[in-house]
Amino acid sequence: MRRFQLFFIVFVLLAVSALPAISQGCTPIPFTRVITYPIQISVPGCYEVTRDLSTAGSGHVGGVIEILSNNVSIDLNGFTIETVGGILAAGAIYSTGFSNIEIRNGTVSGGVSTIDITSGNNVLIENVRILTAPFTAGITLDSVSNFRIRDNLIWGASDNGIVIQGTSSTPFSGTIAGNQILDTKAGIVVGIGASIAVINNRIRTSPGGPLYGLAVGDTSGCIIADNTVVDAGLEGIYLVQSTNCELRDNVVRDAGTVGISLDSNSHDNLLLGNQVTGSGGSGILIDSERNLVQRNQSNSNGEYGLEFGINAAMNVFRENLARGNPGPQASCNPDATDDFCERNMSANTSHGDNYIPILR
């Protein structure tokens, strides 16, 4: 009898130790044995997932977890959250109108946008594996005024990997850092921001995809640094209507069109120490005013190494290297070379220390 009791005690202890650990003070998810989707979190607090959760077979076409409160922290605890239903499904984890939300440490899959947060403030998404499905994006933040998106893996999005969208009345600020984005249609797209950092991300879009590697629009005061962008369908890095930004130490390879491009409304920016190669068009294209272009390397692209467009004026370019670019010289101006094109002749200033064949 004693031997049986000892065996039973050991069995119970082993069974308890096999259960997922829950931090003190946190609420386990799901709340009940029988699950009704979506699981709604309506009370502030710390929550931890205790098992894989999927809407498959439930008859529910929609999200898995809906956040309906401020001040919610969700630890996925290494488990997987999955919604099915493709283009008809909400995000696997989603929220509208709530702030101070944290999501970390697990895998999330499915939904139109796998993690979808709208109209909030102070959002943290970190250490999440986002495995997307057809018709889906990875992370979408719409009108979220402050955020941190860091150290996530986003794979296979048939839309954008990360999308951040502000409004004219609510420009966002935040950091996108240390993420790996693979086999997506576009990598990172941000619009209408003030004070944003996009740092140390690795982006490889699907070859031949129709969108950008990294695009920033309508933003003032941004840092785009130490990113690697490979196989973008269009521009590798594209700055649109954005000012007072730093683009430095980025590596862009095999972009479908231009490697790094500044449109005619992106002025007063710094391009420093970037490396561009293998672009289908020019390596670096500047079509705006008052930018400093220094110590960039742009070799072996499809057109010019460094090109100043017709709207480019009052830019300063120094210590840049461009070699092995095929031009074509004839389509620019008589002073152009295969590596360098200035369409608005003599409108920009060089100290004469560029490593670019220049006739003038």
Across the range 12-41, mean pLDDT stands at 74
* Residue 121 included in any domain: yes
Contact 201, 225 (CB under 8 A): no
Residue that wins the pLDDT comparison between 346 and 54: 54
User: Which domain range does residue 65 map to?
Assistant: 40-155
* Residue 237 included in any domain: no
Tell me which amino acid residue 33 is: R
* Residue 50 included in any domain: yes
Q: What does the pLDDT read at residue 176? A: 98
* Residue 113 included in any domain: yes
Please name which of 159, 171, 268 lies closest in space to residue 205, comparing C-alpha atoms: 159
Of 9-13, 80-84, 348-352, least confident by mean pLDDT is: 9-13
Across the range 13-21, mean pLDDT stands at 44
| Rounded Cα–Cα distance for residues 271 and 273 (Å) | 7
- Mind listing the pLDDT tens digit for each residue in 169-184? 777 899 999 999 998 8
Q: What is the DSSP string of 118-143?
A: ES-S-EEEEEEEEE--TT-EEEEEES
Residue that wins the pLDDT comparison between 194 and 30: 30
Pair of tokens at residue 220: 């003032």
Contact 295, 273 (CB under 8 A): yes
- Mind listing the pLDDT tens digit for each residue in 276-310? 999 999 999 999 999 999 999 999 999 999 999 99
| Rounded Cα–Cα distance for residues 50 and 38 (Å) | 16
H helix or E strand, kind and range, residue 344: none
* Residue 70 included in any domain: yes
* Residue 173 included in any domain: no
H helix or E strand, kind and range, residue 83: none
* Residue 324 included in any domain: no
Long-range contacts from 92-97, C-beta under 8 angstroms, 24+ separation = 92/63, 92/64, 92/65, 93/63, 93/64, 93/65, 93/67, 94/63, 94/65, 94/66, 94/67, 95/66, 95/67, 95/68, 95/120, 96/120
The pLDDT > 90 percentage for the chain reads: 70
pLDDT over 50 at 14, yes or no: no
Across the range 147-168, mean pLDDT stands at 90
Tell me which amino acid residue 201 is: N
Q: What is the mean pLDDT of the chain?
A: 89
* Residue 47 included in any domain: yes
Number of domains in the chain: 1
Q: What does the pLDDT read at residue 61? A: 80
